[in-house]
Structure 1
Amino acid sequence: MNATDPAGPTEPSAAGHGPAHDAPSPETGPSSGGPSTGTGPSAETGSAASGGGAADHRDAPAAASAADAAQPPAAAGPDALLGPADIRELAAALGVRPTKQRGQNFVIDANTVRRIVRTADVRPDDVVVEVGPGLGSLTLALLEAADRVVAVEIDDLLAAALPATVAARLPGRADRFALVHSDAMHVTELPGPAPTALVANLPYNVAVPVLLHMLATFPTIDRTLVMVQSEVADRLAAPPGSKVYGVPSVKAAWYAEVKRAGAIGRNVFWPAPNVDSGLVSLVRRSAPLPTTATREEVFAVVDAAFAQRRKTLRAALAGWAGSAAAAEAALVAADVSPQARGESLTVEQFAAIAEARQRIKGAGV
């Protein structure tokens, strides 16, 4: 589905944490893909943390008690996915009350999560990692299609409740599910076999840093499908030369072939958010970029180039290279015009600049 395909009422948006109201779309960030500067809450649960989170932050024992007390609604029929009534019932039992003021939005349409799983091309042998599962809408759909699902959730209450929801709705698949109770930005290993796919409705205020962190940390992730704020989706998939091409575009392209995979409407959330959403597909490159420069070295060039995007690269890279003359020397050696600007360069050209500077420094120039 292309970027302009609207999500109709029967096939709407993603699950887990959804759109934050007025959530920022990060343009820059540390070379390592560190936290964004956004402050908006995550969608489904209202936390600014990268694994999601509820507005009612309780300590772990209290959260576990609340989760134990809440009886997840069992599937009424052969369909194990959560519907609107199930979402509201589970939220009420857990004491989670979504409000527009706090940017909390629950996905209430099962066709949406089916669409995500289908678009993500989840396969029977996949080990899928999901960030920010929230109440488990997307988790259940992934478990029906994949071999295993590992969900990363930061919120105490939601993390305590999710295993019970899985056991109640998909008892035959519960042993194929694992929960990591942690901030996704701090996750460096996952239980069980290495993940092959990342499918998530990312908390929007930290979507880009979390995405880049997961791709860097788990090189076995071959296919990714994430739902993010529509503006961020445009930035991630933007080609060189476009108005929204920037740091997220280049850094995502370092890892993968990136494209928009669909548009998501607002009417599938409870309550409806103030922003539109989009799906982004990332298929990891079959081979790393042919460069001797490291990811950190290339990303440092990218950050410098877009920190002053109105300036020519000769001026914008002066601080990075040590002087404007040194920047020009690296640019010329990389066959890039010193008068060009960052938004016109491909990720391969950024890598060439980093490599050229590396060669020049090695030669003692």
Structure 2
Amino acid sequence: MLVKETLKILKENDIRLDKRKGQNYLIDSNILNKIVDYADLSSEDTVLEIGAGIGTLTIPLAEHAKKVIAVEQDQKIAAVLNKRLKKLNISNVEVMVADAVKTDFPYFNKVVSNLPYKISSPITFKLLEYDFDFAVLMYQLEFAERMVAKPGESNYSRLSLMMSFCGDVEMLFEVSKHAFFPNPKISSAVIKLVPNKNVEIDEFFIKVSRALFQHKKKKVRNALLNSFHEIASVDKKEAKEIVSKLDENLLSARVVKLDPAEVMVISGELKHLIR
């Protein structure tokens, strides 16, 4: 059983997992197999895995892919992974001891990872800077729900908005907290992310969306005025004058109900007005 094997490896190597670092290891072989199946790997694929740990996912990925780039920040755990790979005579895995948020990745065409949850947001947007086919990723359930939320839904957020532009996100299945050791406090979910390679989001749009969604339950007018400092360095009077020139129907709408195209319109008009 996967749970027995995991506990044995941890004990033999005197490893104590730190939940604060997102070190929750998958111990459910059925979930593991489902993730690998959804990755649809072939001998042509180079897979990036972030948070490889002791190789629970790395090893089955290596059995199906041409190469696996396994990123693990903890040096002691990375050493255990290298030892396991050597013992199993697996030679198509490159172990990178690095902070995934800060390091540059070599070539890959798929991403398959049980992500360390504390880096969910920065690593997701970092991945979208690369050209790849698709990713199968595990997140905290709440984060995954925000990724797929639609305008008007309670989970709709700036993350939902950005993902609607940057990629196609599909919720594949939920994962119980009991599928991990140690148990995290909440459930998880596995998603499939297909990047949109034809869309570029500029920095100004990011600023506008941040200003809006800091007050997502408010009307657009009030949200912009309350956080205009996120967009431009102007005084309150000038900010009010700029905002007053926007479309009244948009200004009176609730931020949480704005669809992505409407946020793009607001951003475009503000960019023109501020110039």
TM-score normalised by the chain length of structure 1: 0.67
Q: Which residue of 2 aligns with 1:107?
A: 26
Query: Secondary structure at the residue paired with 2:151?
Result: coil
CA distance, structure 2, for counterparts of residue 301 and residue 145 of structure 1:
43
Alignment of 1:186-205 (within 5 A): 186-187=102-103, 189-191=104-106, 194-205=107-118
Q: CA deviation at 1:98?
A: 4.2
Q: CA deviation at 1:101?
A: 9.1
Alignment of 1:313-352 (within 5 A): 313-318=220-225, 319=228, 320=231, 322=234, 323-329=239-245, 331-332=246-247, 337-352=250-265
CA distance, structure 1, for counterparts of residue 209 and residue 61 of structure 2:
35
Structure 1 residues 250, 121: CA separation in 2 closer, same or farther (over 3 Å shift)?
farther
Structure 1 residues 212, 355: CA separation in 2 closer, same or farther (over 3 Å shift)?
same
Are the aligned partners of 1:180 and 1:190 in contact in 2 as well (CA < 8 Å)? no
Are the aligned partners of 1:212 and 1:251 in contact in 2 as well (CA < 8 Å)? no
Q: Which residue of 2 aligns with 1:210?
A: 123
Q: 1:253 aligns with which of 164, 170, 176?
A: 164
Unpaired runs of 5+ in structure 1?
Answer: 1-81
Are the aligned partners of 2:49 and 2:111 in contact in 1 as well (CA < 8 Å)? yes
Q: CA deviation at 1:241?
A: 1.2
Q: CA deviation at 1:100?
A: 7.3
CA distance, structure 2, for counterparts of residue 101 and residue 284 of structure 1:
29
Q: 1:231 aligns with which of 142, 148, 163?
A: 142
Higher strand proportion = 2
Structure 1 residues 196, 328: CA separation in 2 closer, same or farther (over 3 Å shift)?
farther
User: 1:113-172 CA deviation, whole Å, 9 max, x = no partner?
Assistant: 221121233343222111111111111121122221111111111122222212223x2x
Alignment of 1:263-282 (within 5 A): 263-282=174-193
Are the aligned partners of 2:21 and 2:118 in contact in 1 as well (CA < 8 Å)? no
Q: CA deviation at 1:348?
A: 3.1
Q: CA deviation at 1:252?
A: 2.1
Q: CA deviation at 1:240?
A: 1.4
Alignment of 1:6-45 (within 5 A): none
What letter matches 1:124 in structure 2? S
Structure 1 residues 131, 104: CA separation in 2 closer, same or farther (over 3 Å shift)?
closer
Unpaired runs of 5+ in structure 2?
Answer: none
Q: CA deviation at 1:245?
A: 0.5
* Structure 1 residue runs of 4 or more that deviate by more than 6 Å after TM superposition: 99-103
Are the aligned partners of 1:134 and 1:158 in contact in 2 as well (CA < 8 Å)? yes
What letter matches 1:355 in structure 2? G
Q: Which residue of 2 aligns with 1:221?
A: 132
Query: Identity across aligned pairs (percent)?
Result: 27
Query: Secondary structure at the residue paired with 1:243?
Result: coil
Q: Which residue of 2 aligns with 1:243?
A: 154
What letter matches 1:107 in structure 2? L
Query: Secondary structure at the residue paired with 1:337?
Result: helix
Are the aligned partners of 1:126 and 1:148 in contact in 2 as well (CA < 8 Å)? yes
Q: 1:299 aligns with which of 192, 206, 211?
A: 206
Are the aligned partners of 2:23 and 2:116 in contact in 1 as well (CA < 8 Å)? no
Number of aligned residue pairs: give it: 266
User: 1:311-359 CA deviation, whole Å, 9 max, x = no partner?
Assistant: 2112212313541331343x42xx9611112222233332332222223
User: CA RMSD of the aligned region, Å?
Assistant: 2.4
Structure 1 residues 153, 356: CA separation in 2 closer, same or farther (over 3 Å shift)?
same
Higher helix proportion = 2
CA distance, structure 2, for counterparts of residue 154 and residue 255 of structure 1:
27
Q: CA deviation at 1:264?
A: 0.6
